[in-house]
């Protein structure tokens, strides 16, 4: 029960108050025992990932709209339907616990309705197949995909987004890959990322506390590699927190300056540096206004973005953002690009990246490089043989449907430039 109550509060925070899933989870699941916490996370992520289908089922069952004060009943129903259709919860428990949850959340008057809906869904789940097949993610999110990636790929992406993503980690010392793969029960991907076959609770995994690795999707580990050999170079990692790419660059021997304007997120970056024993200069500043003493050999700009590339891990993004956000983000990305170009030495590299699936956020493009820069196409073989992710124009594009037999990838875009001498 406490895990379902937490799941209810998390859904309410995310969907009614537009709080990010991670924040809502931290707030409402903190008091739970580890197992209940893991269950609440899995349940809420599933309810959000399957929201279009779950909404279609709820709409098919409700004869009239819920009264204004009882909108939260939809979250109770969503939790029950997620369990009924997509989890192996015992059928008798689904309806009973949903009724109990409805009462506990103050929806005594709707308890009968909750019971009736869930019993119907359990009795005739196939009756909703047609409604579910029609359900789709919001238009601002998915409508641009067919033109950008092709209709077939866009359809496969939608399916891939329904899957729970694997847990990927980056090792501080890549030479230890075989040993750590064995200890963690992981596969070593072509790019050196370790992909765990069974994740469980991250905190319990060997090597985390002693800083031998950090969690980072295999696609998120690619942009930092595009700076090439960085040993001994001065590298600015802009928009750096919580620091996955800073850690990679520091582990590769770069003298890194990590800049982020959020002091809370920089706190997490510092914790990550301390845990891994890696070193970087840390600056809390707006990268657009920040003026270091001298420019850098290389700059990585992991620009603020819609994060739709991480939908598998953060399915709340589909419900918390809108077309207006994409428009604003593109403007921000354009301004940041213009402002940070001055931080690159003549002859130095600039990599722009975003964890987005939206073509409008491919803001830095070889077709229109920042003034004073030339595109530097990413070459075949540069990213562990994953040439499927390198486009004809030399940019990087990963999609959730890439690497299908091994659990997919987060969506990332990256473009590389060199400052003219």
Residues with active-site annotation: 355
* Displacement of CA 86 from its chain's centroid (Å): 21
Q: Given candidates 239, 298, 326, 341, which one binds ligand SAM under the rule CB under 6 A?
A: 239
Cβ nearer to ligand SAM, comparing 243 with 407: 243
Whole-angstrom Cα distance, residue 195 to residue 402?
A: 15
Place of tokens 């729970």: 164
- The dihedrals phi and psi of 92, each to the nearest 5 degrees, come to -65, -30
- Length of the chain as a residue count: 421
Minimum distance of ligand SAM from residue 201's CB (angstroms): 21
Q: Which alpha helices (DSSP H) does 161-262 contain, by range?
A: 177-184, 222-225, 244-251
Rule CB under 6 A: say whether 414 interacts with ligand SAM. Answer: no
Q: Given candidates 286, 342, 380, 381, which one binds ligand SAM under the rule CB under 6 A?
A: 286
Cβ nearer to ligand SAM, comparing 237 with 297: 237
Q: Given candidates 262, 338, 342, 380, which one binds ligand SAM under the rule CB under 6 A?
A: 262
Q: Given candidates 72, 165, 166, 242, which one binds ligand SAM under the rule CB under 6 A?
A: 242
Whole-angstrom Cα distance, residue 364 to residue 250?
A: 25
Minimum distance of ligand SAM from residue 333's CB (angstroms): 10
Rule CB under 6 A: say whether 418 interacts with ligand SAM. Answer: no
Minimum distance of ligand SAM from residue 29's CB (angstroms): 22
389, two tokens = 């992710």
Minimum distance of ligand SAM from residue 398's CB (angstroms): 15
* Residue 283, beta-bridge partner list: 259
Single out the segment in contact with ligand SAM by CB under 6 A; choices: 65-73, 98-106, 115-123, 243-251: 243-251
Rule CB under 6 A: say whether 260 interacts with ligand SAM. Answer: yes
DSSP state of 368: B
Minimum distance of ligand SAM from residue 223's CB (angstroms): 8
Q: How many CB atoms lie within 10 A of CB 58?
A: 20
Determine contact, residues 160/400, Cβ cutoff 8 Å.
yes
Cβ nearer to ligand SAM, comparing 154 with 241: 241
Cβ nearer to ligand SAM, comparing 103 with 265: 265
Rule CB under 6 A: say whether 304 interacts with ligand SAM. Answer: yes
Cβ-proximal residue to ligand SAM, closest one: 239
Spatial CA neighbour of 247 closest among 224, 266, 267:
224
Taking residues 184 to 223 in sequence order and writing x for each that binds ligand SAM by CB under 6 A, - otherwise, the string is: ----------------------------------------
Which H or E run contains 29?
helix 21-29
- Report the side by side order of strands in the sheet with 186-188: 186-188, 194-196, 167-171, 213-215
Whole-angstrom Cα distance, residue 84 to residue 399?
A: 30
- The dihedrals phi and psi of 386, each to the nearest 5 degrees, come to -80, 60
Taking residues 334 to 373 in sequence order and writing x for each that binds ligand SAM by CB under 6 A, - otherwise, the string is: --x------------------x------------------
Residue ranges binding ligand SAM (CB under 6 A)? 239-245, 259-262, 265, 286-288, 302, 304, 336, 355
């Amino acid at each position: 029960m406490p895990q379902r109550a937490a799941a209810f509060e998390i859904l309410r925070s995310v969907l009614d108050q537009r709080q990010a899933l991670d924040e809502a989870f931290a707030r409402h699941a903190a008091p739970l025992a580890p197992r209940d916490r893991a269950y609440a996370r899995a349940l809420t992520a599933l309810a959000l990932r399957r929201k279009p289908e779950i909404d279609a089922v709820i709409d098919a069952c409700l004869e009239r709209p819920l009264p204004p004060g009882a909108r939260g009943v939809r979250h109770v129903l969503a939790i029950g339907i997620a369990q009924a259709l997509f989890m192996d919860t015992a059928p008798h428990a689904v309806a009973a616990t949903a009724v109990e949850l409805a009462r506990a959340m103050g929806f005594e008057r709707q308890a009968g309705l909750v019971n009736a809906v869930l019993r119907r869904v359990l009795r005739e789940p196939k009756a909703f197949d047609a409604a579910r097949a029609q359900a789709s993610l919001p238009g601002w999110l998915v409508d641009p995909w067919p033109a950008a990636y092709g209709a077939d790929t866009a359809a496969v992406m939608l399916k891939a987004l329904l899957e729970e993503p694997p847990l990927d980690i980056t090792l501080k010392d890549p030479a230890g890959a075989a040993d750590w793969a064995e200890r963690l029960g992981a596969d070593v991907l072509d790019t050196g990322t370790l992909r765990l076959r069974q994740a469980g609770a991250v905190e319990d995994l060997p090597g985390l506390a002693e800083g031998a690795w950090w969690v980072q999707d295999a696609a998120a580990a690619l942009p930092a590699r595009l700076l090439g050999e960085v040993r001994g170079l001065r590298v600015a990692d802009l928009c750096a927190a919580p620091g996955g790419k800073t850690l990679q660059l520091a582990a590769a021997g770069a003298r890194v300056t990590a800049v982020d304007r959020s002091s809370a997120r920089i706190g997490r970056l510092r914790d990550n540096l301390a845990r891994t024993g890696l070193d970087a200069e840390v600056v809390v500043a707006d990268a657009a206004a920040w003026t270091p003493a001298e420019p850098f050999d290389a700059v990585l700009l992991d620009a603020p973005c819609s994060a739709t590339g991480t939908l598998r891990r953060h399915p709340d993004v589909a419900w918390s953002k809108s077309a207006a956000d994409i428009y604003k983000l593109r403007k921000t990305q354009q301004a940041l690009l213009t402002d940070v170009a001055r931080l690159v030495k003549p002859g130095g590299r600039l990599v722009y990246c975003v964890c987005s699936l939206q073509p409008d956020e491919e803001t830095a493009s070889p077709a229109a490089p920042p003034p004073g820069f030339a595109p530097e196409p990413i070459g075949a073989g540069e990213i562990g043989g994953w040439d499927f992710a390198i486009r004809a124009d030399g940019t990087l594009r990963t999609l959730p449907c890439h690497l299908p037999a091994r659990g997919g990838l987060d969506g990332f875009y990256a473009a590389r430039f060199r400052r003219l001498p």
